[in-house]
Amino acid sequence: MLIGTAKHSYRADEALLTTSPQRLWMAILLIALALAPLALDNYWLYLACLVSINVASATGLNILTGFTGLVSIGQAAFMAVGAYTVAVLEARTGLPFLVNLVVGGAVAACVGLVVGLPSLRVKGLYLAIATIAASFILHFVFVNWQSVTNGNSGINVTPASLFGVELTDYVHLYYVFVPITALMVLGAANLFRTRIGRAFIAIRDRDISAEVLGISLLRYKLLSFAVSSFYAGVAGGMWAYFFRVVTPESFPFIYSIFFLAAIIVGGMGTILGGVVGAVFMTLVPELLRFAVEWLTTIFPNAVTALSPIRTIVFGALIIGFLIAEPKGLAEIIQRIRRFFHLWPFRK
């Protein structure tokens, strides 16, 4: 039995944040997120919104690939489904934008269920190929289903509005997107405190013994696809409200790889991993761009050489971090945390 019999000791032990430093850091992070727009200029707010969208989608992919072990290279296609759903609903119905986002997620989840069917038979690279194939089929649909998607010219999206305010400024969008993403990340963290999350991990680690424990592979593999696609769909919906035009080229195949890279770099199978991976993949190229701009003011002659170097440095950084810690950035953060242990509460 754990420290006494009081029921609340189990409750404390099962909490998401178990130590005071963890709670303190989380509080600091939340306050920083709430106050950030005061300090950020428009460009950085734009980036913050983009990070928020990418974090939501990467967290979804992490549930599927990191936690359930089903490799998917179709996350961007599911985002596209959400984005198109939102665009169509916005154009043809008067539904509130939060409802549109949820419906976008739900439609993407249904598509995810269908795309997930091969996972009952094939794994690993074979499944990855199946999701690629599904991406191309969806792309074909977006281009050719003229009456709904308006083909190659795509659909313009009117701004979302909340309580009568049109969300056109990045500040407004920031204050809507960041809480939505935070709730999604919290939901994912909660998921892995329950039987459903444990079942996902069990399937990833050893599907035969999962079955003996009464876990239906059929149900949980499909559920994982649905949840992951729901996340992608909502993220895609936010994307639609953010860029305000959705075309078949809005969600290129490389964007799916971006998400796969994000969870690998961040750390597969940890909630923190999906978050830091998406932040890293979105912001580092921008930071490098600033570095290059700054360098060109010092070495004006090196402009042509510096810009490709930026891409190379980005690639090298990814490889470097992966060599330093194959489990991803989340593990590096954990190591730093262990190093400081209970700081600042340590005496």
The reply on whether position 180 binds another protein by CB under 8 A is: no
d(CA 3, CA 200) in angstroms, rounded, equals: 30
Strands 161-162 and 245-246: unpaired
The reply on whether position 195 binds another protein by CB under 8 A is: yes
Please choose, out of 73-81, 140-148, 185-193, 290-298, the segment that lies near another protein by the rule CB under 8 A: 185-193
The reply on whether position 193 binds another protein by CB under 8 A is: yes
In the block, tokens 């913050």 appear at 48
Residues in 27-66 that interact with another protein by CB under 8 A: none
The reply on whether position 223 binds another protein by CB under 8 A is: yes
d(CA 119, CA 232) in angstroms, rounded, equals: 18
Please choose, out of 39-47, 133-141, 214-222, 256-264, the segment that lies near another protein by the rule CB under 8 A: 214-222
**Residue 264 CB contacts under 8 Å (≥ 6 apart), including other chains:** 277, 322, 328
The reply on whether position 202 binds another protein by CB under 8 A is: yes
For the CB of residue 190, give the shortest distance to another protein in the complex, in Å.
Answer: 4
Please choose, out of 55-63, 71-79, 168-176, 193-201, the segment that lies near another protein by the rule CB under 8 A: 193-201
The reply on whether position 187 binds another protein by CB under 8 A is: yes
Q: Are 314 and 285 in contact (CB under 8 A)?
A: yes
d(CA 282, CA 258) in angstroms, rounded, equals: 9
H/E run at residue 230:
helix 217-243
Please choose, out of 6-14, 143-151, 163-171, 258-266, the segment that lies near another protein by the rule CB under 8 A: 6-14
Please choose, out of 123-131, 207-215, 311-319, 331-339, the segment that lies near another protein by the rule CB under 8 A: 207-215
H/E run at residue 246:
strand 245-246
Q: Are 173 and 37 in contact (CB under 8 A)?
A: no
Contacting residue, 4, 94, 164, 214, with another protein by CB under 8 A: 214
SS3 call for 208? helix
The reply on whether position 227 binds another protein by CB under 8 A is: yes
Contacting residue, 3, 38, 39, 212, with another protein by CB under 8 A: 212
Radius of gyration of the chain (CA): 21
Tell me how many residues contact another protein (CB under 8 A): 34
Residues in 230-289 that interact with another protein by CB under 8 A: 269
> Angle 253-266/271-298 helices, nearest 10 degrees?
110
Q: Are 128 and 72 in contact (CB under 8 A)?
A: yes
Q: List residues bridging with 276 in a β-sheet.
A: none
Please choose, out of 22-30, 141-149, 198-206, 330-338, the segment that lies near another protein by the rule CB under 8 A: 198-206
For the CB of residue 128, give the shortest distance to another protein in the complex, in Å.
Answer: 22
Up-side HSE of residue 216: CA atoms within 13 Å toward CB? 4
Residue whose CB is less far from another protein, 10 or 145: 10
The reply on whether position 209 binds another protein by CB under 8 A is: yes
- Binding residues (CB under 8 A) for another protein: these are 1-2, 7, 10-11, 13-14, 187-188, 190-191, 193-199, 201-202, 205-206, 208-216, 223, 227, 269
